[in-house]
Amino acid sequence: MPDASTSAKGDLKLSNLTKSYGDFKAVDDLTLTIPEGSFFALLGPSGCGKTTTLRMIAGLEEPTSGKISIGATDITDKRPYQRPVNTVFQNYALFPHLTIFENIAFGLRRRGVKDVNEQVEKVLNLVELQHLADRKPTQLSGGQQQRIAVARAIVNRPALLLLDEPLGALDLKLRRQMQIELKWIQTEVGLTFVHVTHDQEEAMTMADTIAVMNEGRIEQMGSPAELYDNPKTAFVANFLGQSNLIQGNIVDSDGDFHVVDLYGQKTKVLKSRTHSRNNSVLYAIRPEKLRIDTENHTQPGNRFTGGHIVDVSYIGVSTQYQVELPWGQEIMVFEQNDDGIPPLDKGDEVTLSWEPTFSFALDGAQDANAGSEVNPEAE
């Protein structure tokens, strides 16, 4: 067994990985390479197949077909205890009958490692909980248990560390703190982290690369900035942050831009940010990229005229407006409260404007609400 944890090193490769339960495909022909040493996030709503994927990598679930390998070693048919993979479980799954010290030492003892004391102490120092070594898990707070769960896994120096919704049980403040801490630990130990979560903010804070999953498939993969800035599907546009998606048609071309007709108003979008195979598009613009004004200034760029405010939420750093456009669609506008001007009022006639380069266009055949109606807290 010791060889399992030391031999296989390198990139994690999933090839055509599929898991079916009867007719239902939880994971559908997934092919993916996760580079060694990266912090990778599988992001998606509950039931999208991300946890099943993680459990297959850990060996807790058997793939229906496909292959999993680390570096040159095929681990598809290996038992969980034969894989150089450790997991930080949801709700931590610490052994309630063992002390914190013995919890962390568990994997080391199974592999017959010599300097157990030294290694456990080192990792306890890393998570700054050396004073709790003799306690039982139930005597620790949620945040402390979380750190012990991480310590118990990384002490084994696996080729791959899997994190299954590791911060789901913590309150918001602690979650933020742990996000930073986990990222720091990952940089410190240099292991490959594969992180499964339904929380887009958590994924964006920590991961180098995010794969957005939906219905057993990867919708889009890339850095957090890439995914947020230039989503390629309506699901990604709605699941990562919010997007205003407006049905329209490409009617003309203007240099690097397409000219799009949105209910009679002409707007522009970069050709390089248009992901549609035909003229029917979902024209998309993020709420914070929109500027809102009561007067029709002649600013350069795209604009919608004739909207009126139907709802105003003042939330301190920004004000969120819901604006009804002439054709009846309501869109969101986030305005930074950085100019000392009091927020506009409900009912005000407004003009919305934005830089054409910020917008993007998606295939018009998609459901404009895909990815937005899922409640990320439902798990």
Partner 1 sequence: MPYFLLAPGLIWLALFFVAPIITLIGTATKTPGAGIGEFVQTYRWANYWDAITGSAGQFGRSFLYATIATLIALAIAYPLAYGIAFKSGKYKNILLVLVVAPFFCSFILRTIAWKQILGQNGPVFRFLLDLHLVTPMTHLTATPSAVIIGLAYNFLPFMTLPLYGSLERIDPRVLDASGDLYANAFTTFRRVTVPLSMPGVVAGTLLTFIPAAGDYVNAEILGNPSTKMIGNVINAQFLNTQDYPLAASLSFILMIIISLLVMVYIRKAGTEELV
- Residue 62 sits in the site that holds partner 1 (CB under 8 A): no
Please, are residues 284 and 245 in contact by the beta-carbon 8 Å criterion? Answer: yes
Count Cα neighbours of 170 within 13 Å in the Cβ-side half-sphere: 22
Q: Report the alpha-carbon angle 210-49-43, nearest 5.
A: 20
CA distance 79 to 95: 21
Indicate the residue type of 3: D
Structural tokens at position 241? 């942050």
Contact 194, 14 (CB under 8 A): no
The DSSP string of 2-14 is: HHHHHH--S-EEE
In three-state form (DSSP H/G/I as H, E/B as E, the rest C), the secondary structure along 22-91 is CCEEEEEEEEEEECCCCEEEEECCCCCCHHHHHHHHHCCCCCCEEEEEECCEECCCCCHHHCCEEEEECC
* Window 73-102: residues binding partner 1 (CB under 8 A): 79-81, 85-87, 89-91, 93-97
Q: Does 1 sit near partner 1 (CB under 8 A)?
A: yes
Q: Please list every residue from 196 through 235 that binds partner 1, using CB under 8 A.
A: none
Q: What would the x/- binding string for partner 1 be over residues 148 to 187, using CB under 8 A?
A: ----xx--x-------------------------------
In the complex, least distance from residue 118 CB atom to partner 1, rounded to whole angstroms: 18
Phi, psi of 48 (to 5 degrees): -85, -5
Q: Verify binding: residue 106, partner 1, rule CB under 8 A.
A: yes
Q: Between 73 and 209, whose beta carbon lies closer to partner 1?
A: 73
| Residue closer to partner 1, measured from CB, 170 or 323 | 170
**Distance between CA atoms of 121 and 128, rounded to whole angstroms?**
10
- H or E, element range at 183: helix 172-189
CB of 90 to partner 1, least distance (A): 7
Q: Which is nearer to partner 1, 81 or 327 (CB)?
A: 81
CB of 55 or CB of 303, closer to partner 1: 55
**Smallest gap, in angstroms, from Cβ of residue 238 to partner 1?**
31
Report in angstroms how near the CB of residue 79 gets to partner 1 at its nearest: 7
Please say which residue, 15 or 89, places its beta carbon nearer to partner 1. 89
- Nearest residue (CB) to partner 1, 94 versus 331: 94
How near is the Cβ of 226 to partner 1 at its closest, in Å?
Answer: 32
Choice between 137 and 364, CB closer to partner 1:
137
State the number of binding residues for partner 1 (CB under 8 A). 27
**Do you know the residue count of the chain?**
379
Which residues from 107-146 bind partner 1, rule CB under 8 A? 107, 110-111
Q: How far apart are the first and last CA of the chain?
A: 35
**Least gap, CB of 89 to partner 1 (angstroms):** 5
Residues that bind partner 1 (CB under 8 A): 1, 4-5, 58-60, 79-81, 85-87, 89-91, 93-97, 106-107, 110-111, 152-153, 156
